[in-house]
Structure formats: structure tokens, C-alpha cells
Amino acid sequence: MFPEYDHQAIETKWIKRWAEEGAFAAEIDPGRDKRYVLVMFPYPSGPAHMGHVANYTLGDVVARYYRRKGVGVLHPMGYDSFGLPAENAAISSGVHPSAWTRDNIELIKADLKRLGFSYDWSRELSTCEPAYYRWTQWFFLKMFERGLAYKANAATNWCPSCGTVLANEQVLADGTCERCSTLVVPRWLNQWFFKVTDYAERLLDDMEKLDGWPERVLTMQRNWIGKSRGAEVDFTLEATGEKIRIYTTRPDTLYGVTFFLLAPEHPLVDRLVEGTEREAEVAAFRKRVMASSTIERTALETEKDGVYLGATVTNPLNGESVPVYTANFVLIEYGTGAVMAVPAHDQRDFEFARKYDLAIRVVIEPPDGELVADDMTEAFEEPGTMIASGAFDGTASEEGKQKVCDLLEARGWGARAVNYRLRDWLVSRQRYWGAPIPIVYCEKCGTVAVPEEELPVLLPEDLPLAEGGKSPLPLTPSFYQTSCPSCGGPAKRETDTMDTFVDSSWYYFRYVDPAESDAPFDKEDAAYWMPVDQYIGGIEHAILHLLYSRFFTKVIHDLGLIDFDEPFTNLLCQGMITRDGAKMSKSKGNVVTPGDHIDRLGADTLRLYILFMGPPELSKDWSDAGVEGAHRFLGRVWRMVHERYLPLRQAGDEPDGPASRHRAMRSLTHRTIMNVTNDIDQFAFNTAISFIMELVNGINHYASEGAPDAAVLDEAVLAALQLLAPFAPFISEELWSIAGKEGRVNDLPWLSFDDELAKPEEVTLIVQVNGKVRDRVTVPAGISDDEMKARALEAENTARHLEGKEIRKVIVVPGKLVNIVI
RNA sequence: GCGAGAGUGGCGGAAUUGGUAGACGCGCGGGGCUUAGGACCCCGUGGUUCCUUUGAACCGUGGGGGUUCGAGUCCCCCCUCUCGCACCA
């Protein structure tokens, strides 16, 4: 008898062994190719969940594979450890965010270690540690120096539940907070921003370099940046003669302007109605609009609404006078906050015109006929031919755009312009558990940067949360009272902290040298390891984290610290793990905890199953029965070594059966090496595993049908263990040593295969008659087309179908198929 | 509405360049071992029909057309689902 497969003992043993032997340390070796394999670091909110297991297993298999391919691998791990959940936990349970966070780091770390991930643990980092956030603050200062960090009044997204402002990217499509699902409301506040818009063009253009990224992520980023080309045009306010600038993408429709719109927040609105009978009405209107949530205001279904402002403007192109309204659908933050309205060719303007009985003038004629304004049911927004447009009549609208722009520029009425939907990144948060913004306000000197050598601005970790979960920082004089770095006089610190997305926008640089104390990272180390060769993470970060990281990398490039400007060469977006088709969540009660499965079935089983479930990028539904199957397979591998392999080495019987039987086994072995290698290269782990399963089944058959050839069996079993090692490293390592082999299987060079051996000796020839499969014939591999034809024609079942028929054509696919056309 | 992706057995999913549809696994059925159950091993498993058997025929990759000797794969039209963006002028 042989020992049972005791996954707990085996896994405990090898975790310890690998740690003692420093098996996964990343070392710089300029003579060797490198791979930086990174999986998005977790937010430590408790033990690991299945999404973590799926993500980190993927990364680990890739890292282990590359290591065995002989390249230097950097595979690090850390924690995104500042953030709101820590404060929410503090509110509900009274634990300090700092303690809560550090406890959770220990919980998730324990799970990550149990899963056998091959991290270089010496590089572990945590964004809430002063040694780390010191450099987050340093980057803020660099941004500030370059005018990329600025403070401004702006309409912000306020989450009433989180009690803080949010970045645009953190507001979901339904207008709710991405963290707590509360409806976000607008607030006009003085806040810190990063000038991402300065980089809009580069963020867009450089996507060309990202051919290792999924197309859908690039599309999402492209849409988010939202570049549009058009023109800015100055209209003249008739009462005062001052110019009001608008932005339009349709300069070709300038002759169709019949009214003019201002965003309710536009500063001109107040001035126009001040002291008039409309003042109260307009004020009430604006109050109503601004009070509605972002979602209400931006929903397509929201009815067009507006108020006449009692003013008129002149259209520079035709000198016409049109009325000025304020309207709910005009956004202050896009373009200039003022819009020319062309109801015939813009759906929103059309609806507004119908509601307020304003003129509709057709100036673009559709290719297929005339358009009558009174009969229109919707705006005509497609290209056409310009009409009722003076000298431009008869011009195609696309061409007209250019010609009108030429005229605008020639006359000084306007100019070509580009606009982006992308807004500057709002980075200040009225929260406690984050990196303090390193700024001081002095009555004399104004806004002053904290000098670099005074970093970090330490976050006091002994403060309880204030009333209602608010940040204690503004209430703590020992924190905010300071002296001005410039004049030495009394000054007040900024009490806002940074958005946690700032912390995570540069962490991958820190891993190259997390102990570095003179800089955020060592330039030479970064030159070796960066950029990240393979980044892996959830699709939910397609915009937020990935866009911010790209921005940071470009800034770091411009600071002269690196000579590349994209952080992630290849990106794999992992699908979600669901249960019964639904996202796992505590409220639904469908959470599957990895820890339980590791205890019961082992980390190897869990790793293997989660990869076997399906392609990485697909979302996958968890099955308890399925995971049992993976465990059963590992049991078969265990028995294969103990029942088939070990006894044979003692017995040494003469091999049974013809040479072809043994040659077929070798062929399967080599074919499996080929297939598994190809599949891992393409991240097709599910099929790679199924090939290993076939090999193991094949070995068991081979060894049970008669005495195997010792060398053939040796080759097959050892190959199976080596191929299995990246997926199930513990059992592979254990069986490797049980098989009496030296060293760690996880360190062996990746297997190569023999092309000739990988080809089977015999192939099944498919015989079709008129495209329908009628017979299968086993033939030697590599026979000629003529022989194939002959064998096909004499096949028994084929002959029946050919009886009395005339053969018109025979198609031969070499080595595969013969199709007889009758 | 715009953009991206996907529809294959009871289930998860396989199928270079068009060339055996359903690999591998789960589940299910049958058998072995066992006092019994579990575990394990062996066999079977898309549907329908026919046959005593060996077996055979037809249907079958969301629906409908098409190209081709041959279509899950290519082309056209349609349906459904998922995800992202949605008053950006």
C-alpha cells in the first residue's frame, strides 16, 4: 500500500520549503530576458475571495511558466490599503481604520500564501505605509510644480453617503457612487485636480502602442476620452456687444441657428436677468436643475426644459438675431457652456424648439430628397447638401464644415477647435484614511507646497473618526497647525487626503525596489524591469485605474525618470466568478470562500479547477461538483505515480505488446508537451489542463494493458508532472520527489518535444460522399494522396453509397479526409 | 441610440487556414469491488427512427437565406443575451 494524497500535509511542507529556499526571488540579470508579471493588487477587506483566486492563479501560472522558460521574472504582491471601506468598518464596528486594514492584510496574505503563489515576498508593499505614501505625496508635489495639480472651483460629484467628492470616473452610468451605490449629487466646491486633460491627446494617440490590450478596453478608453473636432464661434450679445463663444461639431449648420442656449451655471445667465422681471424665474429654474442628480440631468428621457433670458445674439455668419435661453441639457463643463441651437439638425434642439414653439430651419438637405420643417418628426443629423446657406449652397456638408471654418478663421469670427469629454481628475477627498495632500495654506504666501525633504506628511493614525464618520483631520490642530515653509509664519495644512486611485497609479514602479528611500523607485532597476510585460486584472478597471496609470506613467516619463511612456505592454482582463449566474455577494448569500475549499480539497485543486472552468477572459459560474472533479483528477495523478510508476521501477518486466503500442505512448507524451506549451503561450489554460488529463488517462491505460516499457513510462510520467507543475505546484513537487528526482520540479527548464515523435503513426482517414461522413479508415500517417484515394474508395460503407453512381470528383485533404463527389 | 462581445448536449466548455461537431470535465445510466455506503475502477451517454445482432439512416452549433465538393467557422438579413458609453452640441 501507498500513502493517501494528503493535500494539507503536502501543501504545508512545500510552502515552508519554498520560503526557506527563497525559490521565487527576482534578480536583475542584464544578460537575460525579463518578464514583469503583475496582477492588480487587492484592496484588503478580508480574506481572499474567488475573484482573487482566479486572478492570482492566472498570474502565478504565467510567472511559473516564464521562470521555467529561463527568463528573469518579477512577480510581486502588495496591498491597496487606503480607502473608504476601512472607515466604514470603523463607523460600524468601532475598529480603527488602521487596525482594520492591517488585520485584513494579514488575512488575505495568509490565503495568498496558502495558495502557493510564487511571489517575491521581499518586495511586498502597502500603500498606507509612510514609506510608500511619502512618494505618492512626492508625485503630488511634482504635479504641483508643473502646474498639473491645481485647485479650482468646479461642479463636483458629491456622494452624500461617503461624505466626499468623487472623480467623474467613480460615478457609475446610473449616476450612483461606484463604492456605495448612493445617488451622487452635484456640488460646487473648491477642490484639487490633476490636469489629465493636458494628456488627452497623448492618451488617445498612444493607444496605437497598446496592441497587447483587449480591443474592448481600448474602445472604452477611447470613448471616455471622447475626442471631437469642430469649431469655436463667437456670437455677439446685442445688448452690450460682447462676444459669447460656443463650440460646435457642425459648423456646416451655422445658417440653421434659430436660437441660442446657455448652461444654467453659465456666469452670463445672472447678468442677463439681473434686475429684470425674469430674475426670480431664472433663479428658481437654475436651483431646480442644479438640485437634480447627475443621472436625472443627463438622462436622455429627461424632458427638455428652459427659460427665455430676454436677450438676443447675432449670428456672425448671416447677421441674424436669435433669442437666448438657458436650458437644462446644456452642460457647463463641456465646450464653453454655450451652444448654438440648430433644431433641424440636432435632436435636442429639435425637441426644445417644438416645446417652446421656436423656428426650425432646414439647412442640410438629405441625399434622398427634400425636408419640410413643419413635417419633421425628428432632427436630420446625417450628412447631406447645404441649402439656405448663402454662398455655401450646394456644398456637401462634410466639405462645408471645412469651408465654413476657413471663412470663420479668415474673418476672425471663430476657429477650428478640438474638445474632449475627459475631465480633469478630481483627486481631493474629504476623508481620513488616505494620503494627506502635502500643501500648506499661508495667509501671506497663499498655497505653498510642503518641501520634499519634509515628506512624508504623516497621517496621524491615533485619531478616532469624527461625528457621523467624518474626517477628524480638520478638527485636529496638532495636524493642521503648522508654519509656512516659505515665510515661517503661521499656516494651515490641507486636510483633504488623496483619492486612493492616486496610490494605485504608480505602485507597479515601486515594486522594482520597494526599499528605496531616496526616490520613488531606482531608475536603473526600473529600466530593467519596467514596463510591466503582462498585467492581469478585472475588467472593472478598464477606465479608472488603467487610464490613471497611463497618465502617471506619461508624467513620470516627462519628469525624465523613465524612457518609455506606457506602463503595461500586455493586458489580460479576467472575467468574473459568479455563483448561479449572479455576482457573489454577502447579501445574496452565495459567496464561496476559497479558505474552506483549500482546507477540504487543497490549494492545488482550487487552482486547477478555477483555470479549468473556462477561458480567463470569460465570466465563469462556480460549481461545487466541478471542483470535486478537479480533486479526483489529482487523486488519479497521485495513484498514477504510486500504482503504475513506482512498482514498475522495481519489477523491471519485459515490455508487452508490439512496438507500436509503446511508440503510441511516446507520441502522446510529446504531443501533449506540444499542445500544453502552445496553450499556455495563448493563455488557454482550460485546454492545457484537459491535454494533461488526456495524458494521465493515456498513461493509466498504457500501464494497465500490459507491462509498459520502463523508459517510455518514465518519460510520460515525468512529463506529466512537469506539465502539471505550474497549475498544481504542490502535488507536482511532492510526486517529483517521491519519484526520486532531484531538485524542484518548479525550477526545471520547460520541456521540449520531438516533432517526429509528436506525430502519430496512424491516422483516422475520414471518407465523405458528397460531404457526408460515410466511413472512417485507419491508415499509416504520411501516405500519399493517391493511396488515400484508393483506401477511401475501397472502404466498405463508402462502396455501398457509390454503387451505381458516377464519381465526378474526388477531393483529398492530405492526411485527413477524402470527399467523393457523385 | 452608439460601441464591443457572445449564442454549440442536461451543465462548464472543445473544435489552425472552411475539412470527424461535442475534446476534457461535471452530471446521468449500467457494471465491478464492498456486509453496506463512500472512495475507487470499467463501460455507456446530442436527438429521432430502423434493426435479432454487427450496424444503418436522418436531424443537429439562436432563426432564415447564400457561397462551396464540404460551413459552428465565410457572406447577407433577422432574433436574443451580456458588458461598456449614453442630452458632450
- Measure CA to C1' and name the residue nearest B68: A771
CA of A523 to C1' of B20 (A): 57
- Name the residue among A17, A179, A175 with its Cα closest to residue A85: A179
| Range from A368-372, A477-481, A572-576 that averages highest in pLDDT | A477-481
Lowest mean pLDDT among A12-26, A177-191, A234-248, A471-485: A177-191
> In this predicted model, which residue has the larger pLDDT, A63 or A626?
A63
CA of A582 to C1' of B60 (A): 31
CA distances from A247 to A231, A234, A610 (A): 6, 9, 51
Q: Which nucleotide is nearest to A583 (CA to C1')?
A: B82
- Measure CA to C1' and name the residue nearest B69: A821
- Name the residue among A167, A153, A352 with its Cα closest to residue A267: A153
* Dist. CA A489–CA A111, nearest whole Å: 51
pLDDT of residue A652: 64
- Measure CA to C1' and name the residue nearest B20: A766
* Dist. CA A340–CA A316, nearest whole Å: 12
3-state secondary structure of A80: coil
Lowest mean pLDDT among A171-175, A378-382, A656-660: A171-175
pLDDT band at A220 (very low <50, low <70, confident <90, very high): confident
Q: Which nucleotide is nearest to A543 (CA to C1')?
A: B84
Q: What is the CA radius of gyration of chain A?
A: 34
CA of A767 to C1' of B69 (A): 12
Place of cell 483627486: A427
* Dist. CA A13–CA A18, nearest whole Å: 9
- Name the residue among A263, A271, A405, A401 with its Cα closest to residue A334: A263
| Polymer length of chain A | 822
Report the pLDDT averaged over residues A482-486: 94
Cβ proximity of A350 and A379 under 8 Å? yes
* Dist. CA A731–CA A727, nearest whole Å: 10
For the segment A522-575, what is each residue's pLDDT rounded down to a tens digit? 999 999 999 999 999 987 777 889 999 999 999 999 999 999 999 999 999 888
- Name the residue among A647, A649, A634 with its Cα closest to residue A602: A634
* Per-state percent for chain A, helix, strand, coil, to nearest 5: 45, 20, 35
pLDDT of residue A493: 96
3-state secondary structure of A245: strand
**What is the rounded average pLDDT for all residues in chain A?**
89
* Dist. CA A489–CA A476, nearest whole Å: 19
* Dist. CA A493–CA A481, nearest whole Å: 6
Report the pLDDT averaged over residues A133-153: 95
CA atoms within 13 A on the CB side of A197: 18
pLDDT at A635 over 80: yes
Place of cell 492588480: A40
Q: Which nucleotide is nearest to A816 (CA to C1')?
A: B19
pLDDT at A300 over 70: no
* Dist. CA A314–CA A322, nearest whole Å: 6
pLDDT of residue A596: 87
Cβ proximity of A597 and A556 under 8 Å? no
Place of cell 509664519: A489
- Name the residue among A366, A401, A400 with its Cα closest to residue A383: A366
CA of A608 to C1' of B16 (A): 26
pLDDT band at A738 (very low <50, low <70, confident <90, very high): very high
Could you tell me if residue A327 is left (phi over 0), alpha (psi between -120 and 50 degrees) or otherwise beta? beta
Helix (H) or strand (E) holding A131: helix A130-145
pLDDT of residue A483: 95
pLDDT at A378 over 80: yes
pLDDT band at A773 (very low <50, low <70, confident <90, very high): confident
pLDDT at A649 over 70: no
Q: Which nucleotide is nearest to A340 (CA to C1')?
A: B89
- Measure CA to C1' and name the residue nearest B5: A216
Give the distance, in angstroms, between the CA of residue A686 and the centroid of all CA atoms in the same chain: 22
Give the distance, in angstroms, between the CA of residue A70 and the centroid of all CA atoms in the same chain: 29
Nine-digit cell at A178? 461606484
Nine-digit cell at A539? 475588467
CA of A769 to C1' of B57 (A): 14
pLDDT of residue A134: 97
Cβ proximity of A385 and A397 under 8 Å? yes
The count of other CB atoms within 10 Å of the CB of residue A453 is 5
> What is the reported pTM?
0.91
CA of A636 to C1' of B42 (A): 15
CA angle A460, A466, A472 (to 5 degrees): 30
Place of cell 500564501: A113
Q: Which nucleotide is nearest to A332 (CA to C1')?
A: B88
Q: Which nucleotide is nearest to A627 (CA to C1')?
A: B26
* Dist. CA A270–CA A282, nearest whole Å: 8
CA distances from A803 to A17, A776, A807 (A): 71, 18, 10
pLDDT of residue A812: 84
CA of A669 to C1' of B13 (A): 24
Give DSSP secondary structure letters for A692-747: HHHHHHHHHHHHHSSPPPHHHHHHHHHHHHHHHTTTSHHHHHHHHHHTT--S-GGG
Q: Which nucleotide is nearest to A639 (CA to C1')?
A: B40
Cβ proximity of A489 and A442 under 8 Å? yes
CA atoms within 13 A on the CB side of A453: 1
CA angle A740, A741, A746 (to 5 degrees): 135
CA of A245 to C1' of B89 (A): 13
CA angle A784, A790, A795 (to 5 degrees): 125
Q: Which nucleotide is nearest to A770 (CA to C1')?
A: B69
Q: Which nucleotide is nearest to A298 (CA to C1')?
A: B87
Angle between helices A97-114 and A7-20 (to 10 degrees): 110
For the segment A68-90, what is each residue's pLDDT rounded down to a tens digit? 999 999 999 999 999 888 888 88
Lowest mean pLDDT among A82-91, A211-220, A643-652: A643-652
Helix (H) or strand (E) holding A482: strand A481-483
Contacts of residue A1, Cβ cutoff 8 Å, sequence gap at least 6: none
Which residue type does A52 have? Answer: H
Protein footprint on strand B: which nucleotides are under 7 Å from a CB? 3-5, 11-15, 19-21, 23-27, 39-42, 55-58, 69-71, 83-89
pLDDT at A186 over 90: no
Cβ proximity of A146 and A86 under 8 Å? no
Report the pLDDT averaged over residues A612-632: 85
Place of cell 497623448: A202
Q: Which nucleotide is nearest to A220 (CA to C1')?
A: B84
- Dmax (CA) of chain A: 110
* Dist. CA A347–CA A378, nearest whole Å: 6
* Dist. CA A187–CA A641, nearest whole Å: 68
pLDDT at A148 over 90: yes
Provide the pairing of β-strand A338-341 with A385-386: unpaired
Give the distance, in angstroms, between the CA of residue A759 and the centroid of all CA atoms in the same chain: 40
CA of A505 to C1' of B43 (A): 58
Contacts of residue A471, Cβ cutoff 8 Å, sequence gap at least 6: A430, A431, A432, A465, A495, A497
- Measure CA to C1' and name the residue nearest B23: A690
Could you tell me if residue A581 is left (phi over 0), alpha (psi between -120 and 50 degrees) or otherwise beta? left
* Dist. CA A732–CA A351, nearest whole Å: 68
CA of A37 to C1' of B5 (A): 26
* Dist. CA A480–CA A287, nearest whole Å: 35
* Dist. CA A353–CA A377, nearest whole Å: 12
Report the pLDDT averaged over residues A506-528: 95
CA of A674 to C1' of B31 (A): 37
3-state secondary structure of A551: helix
pLDDT at A135 over 70: yes
* Dist. CA A448–CA A484, nearest whole Å: 7
How large a percentage of chain A has pLDDT more than 70? 96
CA of A797 to C1' of B75 (A): 35
pLDDT of residue A583: 66
For the segment A94-119, what is each residue's pLDDT rounded down to a tens digit? 899 999 999 999 999 999 999 999 99
* Dist. CA A706–CA A681, nearest whole Å: 36
pLDDT at A297 over 80: no
Angle between helices A624-639 and A685-704 (to 10 degrees): 40
pLDDT of residue A281: 93
- List b or e across A523-536, with b for residues whose CB sees 16 or more CB atoms inside 10 angstroms: eebbebbbbbbbbb
pLDDT of residue A114: 94
- Measure CA to C1' and name the residue nearest B25: A629
Provide the pairing of β-strand A72-74 with A582-583: unpaired
- Measure CA to C1' and name the residue nearest B19: A817
For the segment A400-444, what is each residue's pLDDT rounded down to a tens digit? 999 999 999 999 999 999 999 898 998 998 889 999 999 999 999
- Name the residue among A387, A381, A347 with its Cα closest to residue A363: A387
pLDDT band at A793 (very low <50, low <70, confident <90, very high): confident
* Dist. CA A565–CA A206, nearest whole Å: 9
pLDDT of residue A511: 97
Lowest mean pLDDT among A136-140, A162-166, A699-703: A162-166
pLDDT band at A160 (very low <50, low <70, confident <90, very high): confident
How large a percentage of chain A has pLDDT more than 90? 59
> In this predicted model, which residue has the larger pLDDT, A783 or A611?
A611
CA of A65 to C1' of B45 (A): 37
Nine-digit cell at A733? 513537487
pLDDT of residue A174: 66
* Dist. CA A87–CA A341, nearest whole Å: 47
Q: What are phi and psi of A701, to 5 degrees?
A: -65, -50
Lowest mean pLDDT among A238-242, A551-555, A615-619: A615-619
CA of A776 to C1' of B71 (A): 21
Report the pLDDT averaged over residues A655-659: 84
Cβ proximity of A175 and A296 under 8 Å? yes
pLDDT at A356 over 90: yes
pLDDT at A91 over 90: no
- Measure CA to C1' and name the residue nearest B1: A300
Q: Which nucleotide is nearest to A297 (CA to C1')?
A: B87
* Dist. CA A403–CA A695, nearest whole Å: 69
CA of A579 to C1' of B84 (A): 22
